[in-house]
């Protein structure tokens, strides 16, 4: 694995720097994690496609010197599905926000997982809508403050990992921007995995989530991430803990890494059975 400090600039689109992300935002750490993973895998960027949605995370495709698509809110996985189906050689990475993946685009996430299509979804979860100024998200914890839940959220939050596991994703991991040593490895594993992968990365939004919930500056929020999570036994199943017990013990690590027939392969088998001869790509 590449050590921090290595020059990742060949993978980045210099003319789009600096990024749109606020000082202290965790998304740059995730982008670095993705770049580090790509560097360790040595992939040809001509054959890497980033397909993003809308919001702070949706800007990530602009910053990689690859085939980059910035689509509509929540729909990135549907765009990516068409792209991957006709050009299976492409490594397709979908950076998504928690709004993209758990709210407006939740339907596409569960169906991509059900199909087990070879796409890597990286969920940048900062528990809030940052781009629009700090509104509540389906991932905002109960009682947390946002501009649309000024007295505290009365809605329980979605658990991205549980949802991805239940929907059939074959590689599911969670990490945080605090856990930078593990993050690139988990993302690299997801990219290598032949099937639908979801890597949720808990990210800090000091500008809105941190300020509205009095969590301090970005470094304080990194410590907050550290303190509310607990590393899984490597490759083990999630510990049997209740939702109430999860405070301080939100499990992180690799929850699933298993082989199941992949969708594009399945479709190409179907072409062969139909006598379609040449492949779609």
Q: Which residues bind another protein (CB under 8 A)?
A: 13, 15-16, 45-47, 49, 51, 61-62, 65-72, 75, 78-87, 89-90, 107-108, 111, 267, 270-271, 273-281
Residue closer to another protein by CB (options 59, 145) is 59
Residue closer to another protein by CB (options 45, 246) is 45
Least separation in angstroms between CB 277 and another protein: 6
Structural tokens at position 227:
């303190």
Least separation in angstroms between CB 131 and another protein: 12
Between strands 135-136 and 128-129, the pairing is antiparallel
Residue closer to another protein by CB (options 40, 87) is 87
In angstroms, the CA 259 to CA 170 distance is: 7
Residue closer to another protein by CB (options 82, 239) is 82
Dihedral of the alpha carbons of 97, 98, 101, 105, in degrees to the nearest 10: -90
Least separation in angstroms between CB 93 and another protein: 13
Residue closer to another protein by CB (options 47, 181) is 47
Least separation in angstroms between CB 110 and another protein: 8
Q: What is the CA radius of gyration of the chain?
A: 18
Least separation in angstroms between CB 148 and another protein: 22
Half-sphere exposure of 161 (CA within 13 A, CB side): 19
Least separation in angstroms between CB 213 and another protein: 30
| Residue 175 · residue 253 · CB < 8 Å | yes
Residue closer to another protein by CB (options 21, 178) is 21
Residue closer to another protein by CB (options 15, 240) is 15
Neighbours of 4 (CB within 10 A): 10
H helices present in the chain, as ranges: 27-41, 76-86, 98-99, 106-115, 160-167, 183-192, 211-212, 218-228, 263-274
Whole-angstrom CA distances from 190 to 13, 77, 214, 246 are 23, 15, 34, 25
In angstroms, the CA 245 to CA 218 distance is: 26
Least separation in angstroms between CB 187 and another protein: 20
């Amino acid at each position: 694995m590449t050590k921090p400090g290595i020059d990742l600039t060949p993978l980045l689109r210099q003319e789009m720097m600096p990024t749109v992300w606020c000082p202290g935002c965790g998304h740059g750490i995730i982008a670095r994690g993705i770049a580090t993973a790509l560097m360790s895998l040595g992939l040809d960027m001509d054959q890497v496609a980033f397909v993003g949605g809308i919001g702070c995370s949706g800007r990530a495709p602009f910053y990689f010197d690859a085939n980059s698509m910035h689509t509509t809110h929540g729909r990135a996985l549907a765009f990516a599905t068409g792209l991957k189906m006709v050009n299976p050689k492409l490594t397709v990475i979908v950076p998504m926000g928690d709004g993209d993946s758990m709210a407006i685009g939740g339907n596409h996430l569960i169906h991509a997982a059900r199909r087990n299509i070879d796409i890597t979804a990286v969920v940048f979860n900062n528990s809030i809508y940052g781009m629009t100024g700090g509104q509540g998200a389906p991932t905002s914890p109960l009682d947390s403050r946002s501009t649309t839940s000024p007295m505290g959220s009365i809605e329980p939050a979605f658990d991205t990992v549980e949802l991805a596991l239940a929907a059939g994703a074959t590689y599911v991991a969670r990490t945080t921007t605090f856990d930078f040593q593990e993050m690139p490895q988990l993302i690299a594993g997801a990219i290598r995995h032949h099937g639908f992968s979801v890597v949720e990365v808990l990210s800090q939004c000091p500008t809105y989530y941190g300020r509205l919930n009095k969590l301090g500056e970005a470094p304080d929020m990194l410590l907050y991430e550290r303190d509310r999570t607990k590393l899984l036994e490597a490759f083990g199943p999630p510990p049997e803990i209740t939702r109430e017990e999860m405070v301080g013990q939100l499990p992180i690590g690799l929850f699933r890494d298993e082989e199941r027939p992949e969708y594009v392969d399945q479709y190409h088998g179907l072409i062969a059975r139909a006598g379609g001869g040449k492949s779609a790509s």
